[in-house]
Chain A
């Protein structure tokens, strides 16, 4: 178990390095299928990305190519985060974006209030500096901690369906992390409101405790247990 987690952690570090290179292309990770023809390029409207382009002298080349307009939920302000938008989309049901957005914003507000309370209760400056006050950062860390590194695929051999551990793509692991967080938040008592429950889940996940992280660790343990069947993927 420990060996596997160590290997998984090394793997994760490697992927993290790769991700830092991919930071520039992040807008393409969330590029959406639209009815514009193939040769339209994705827009680049964040100030940091544009600065990078100016450094590489590629701005004028891109300016001569047709570019899609940015979507309705994208702005160039610093407060816009593609991950937050993805979470809002997953929370949304029946196309009610306003409601979903207000729920997620209320959850962030709750996180902020809880963290500020903790900040005021903490006595030493060291403790104070450890408390993260920005709810978006907490969301990022929570999702990072919840992303599984392997997944189990059912493969049928000789009449028995084995659960075979296999690799997982970046997109799918992100999707699973958000889905598990929302499922955990929905298993709430009747009197507790969704934003509060979601806030607690996020804080727990950012702390590496709580239901969702446990679920991910269970999955990793299962993968380790079924390691023997890994070769079934290639049979």
Chain B
């Protein structure tokens, strides 16, 4: 008998620590920790394994933990109220162990065939390892989708006695968190993938560049590295091979642009994270000017599975252009948010409705944003698009790192474009004029439109600027920064026109465009709104209907927030 509690960052945020402590103190069996299983909306999640069946309990609070203890002690209990079978999708590859094993125990990883892939690598030649990855068709899961084998090949072929393997765990794309979940839930998968890559290219040193915003991931990774060293999997001559390799962790300091590989290298070298022109590619001249292979977390996590099961097995999943499966982080206005690992080739609609349970609160789906600040919004009508690199690119969005943010009728697409531009302006490193100043100008126009000052010709100006910025920027940040604006103009031009011509925001998000008035029928005259109005715009006598002076109204929305009778009309 064993109990596990999901203690990824999401589980902890939902209260897993208290649940864990309650169970640990009172349960009549061992209580272990596991990572995020993917159904984050059901956290905290507790599983009870009696050796034969595994039962899961969801949204467990301290009371629920008490009920589970009673159940285990054979007392009368209400644990069944928390029982729920989880459907996390079968055939998980990158997430295969997440939420199942204890990430802080190397023995549990080994029990799931862990480090078998490394052992197998040592019975192969480096060329054979690269060939296996080539057969698998694995492409980079961090955004650009570059074939993994090609990078490995290039790094192997580069002359040099010193080479590096680098893991990009600088998951800066807002809305994506699969890399955090993988490191928190299955750190050894990443370490094992990096060892395989090091063997293939001939590197003896590895570095994981993790965001400082992921403190738990850094701790778990550090523990995992320590355990792997103790077992002799890292260091000198693992498994009796003549190969040596070790990994260190570097915490990033918070810069989105460091997800770009040349900027990441600059940051590792202690510099400002500014991208440089390629070539030379990192595979030729990377960290400390030595050949370096950089892949992201999810990519490395796929590698041990591919080596163990063969490239063909991986390639049998997915489409002609995109092989294997991909993890998506499903968030926003979704009923069941979390991580979905799905085979390439399924549709965006499937992910949103089958895994995510559709839009929250039964509202109408408006769009799905893919690929974060570099990606685009796919309108409802196009959600039948197949998930593969080519088909997504044709819509103007990108596969990206797998962020999938669901938007409903209450989301304003002009505001979303403004939001992303605000992000890229803050994160632009400032090297290229087009990116540094062009994006700023685009943001100013969008802020003006959202603020009620939209003019004729703004849409055309935004489009022109967007195309120029794409052409005039050195790295992917600048080249893709206009995408959220260009795709929303392409699919939601009517919303831009409404903002500009009618000074109206149908989603009621752009406050300066809203008009507040009192519904005389519903108003009870309690005067709470008048007291909360910073502009003194609400007048009326107690117990009779109040009114709002539009001239004085500062459109803060306080009145609508505090009215208990729903008597404030917002249009």
Q: Do A and B come from one complex?
A: no
By a beta-carbon cutoff of 8 Å, the part of chain A in contact with chain B is: none
